[in-house]
Chain A
């Protein structure tokens, strides 16, 4: 037996010793007492927690937070600046450390406690004598021994007591939402443009007619009130500028007339009227009722006085081309390039050219058949469109 199991037997004796060595023995970390943990915590935190601890009831959250901070040593030397509704101000501060937590908590690293308080919070002063505890909480036994603590908290305005009702000055607490400044003219124009929509126009007409009964032409002013209220004030201002410009343009030309009648370079203005003008007839023929003159068909070419260019007191300009046909006047697009008025005179029949001077050929061998007569410069354009005013 001993021979057969010799090798085994020989090893049996030392084997129990390593087994004992391999036996798992959990390392028990001894639980630290409260005092020991407080000793390990950084000094700054200790101050804060000690300041808050006596608050006792209702302050559990504050003291708990202090302990939590103490556990993380990586924020040593820091302190909590603010929390709660006032913390939104940290967005405008532009945190130099680039902390992403700025929305809810503002941690000022490596700074002393008081100097890191944002300026706007420092400016936030309580109205004297207006701060009061809410009635329910005040009777909650906050304790006469805690008076000193309360006064400390009052001094440090970065700490907010949720049980207190703060009455800050209103101008200091413009936090959100910030309303854009309202422009008065927009406020006025909105209802005006709303009323003058095409749907309601008829109603306005009726009402306005009723009001303007005593005027000699009741319908025209009524329509004008409705139509003129349509463009917004901005458009109206542009129109006024246009009108001033037109009047200036005409005044310019008038002053040229007064100063120098035989000016070498004459200037013209372009007028754009509707393509079709009303049918005109000479005033004298209507009065005389002369049948001989009426026999001839009305000439499509108009020669004579067709209307008036009116300048109103308000600076508005308009054109009247007979009866109640008024045209609104606007300024055409200005040009930067040269425009000239010329007359092209090319007789269609060659027999007309009896003048030997005209019949000569120019340098290029082209037969000269007519004239191009330059009359002067064209500057400015006035556009007249039918007005339903």
Chain B
């Protein structure tokens, strides 16, 4: 049985099909990533799965409960880390957890017993009495994660869990999320950090304009969609060099004054570039980001 299953999900706002026929299957214990540019429909998809927004069409089953019909029952076994922190600024770190547990119908004693462990997990053990405004961005994020775990959920939804964090804070969150996966929790996260998706997710779906355009493991997506080697080239005389180099690369993309050459074997390209002192180049293995840009395009989404 799936931890989360969605079929033919649709949601329209005005003339815009924000979610346009999405199917999802997330297995128990899996870390599943929803990747897409801004406005792709990721957040709306999460809200639909939680029963916070009603779909125009389609069915959802979350932890065996039909959503939105029994969304409240489903949510009692689910945790949510939203894109923007909405901790309670009037309460301390500890009070935030104590008050939040009550929304799940947990007794004061049950919540209080869970708090030390959660503060430990969030790396906030010495900060129980700190005010929310005194916390750094990373601490707030970790507290939001701890808050989402107050009911010991089976499944955790995270909307861009590390956006806006510095590398240290981000790595700490990743480490904690891996720990949760090891404990057997199911994770569903949205992100537009390819590195995050590659490191954490067993499987990903790339979403654009309300549709899932590709689903698979990070490696499988790279193998399926992109040549394994990339050479990025820029400098004067690029156009002249490209005319004869094109036959060495099956696929070439231009973005401003940089050319991206994708090939199974980059050696002939690099050999050619050694004789071009005017051109700078970078040779690297293809990544998920290349897949993402190939599938969703290089245009800005604002």
Q: Do A and B come from one complex?
A: no
Residues on B lying within 8 angstroms of A by beta carbon are: none
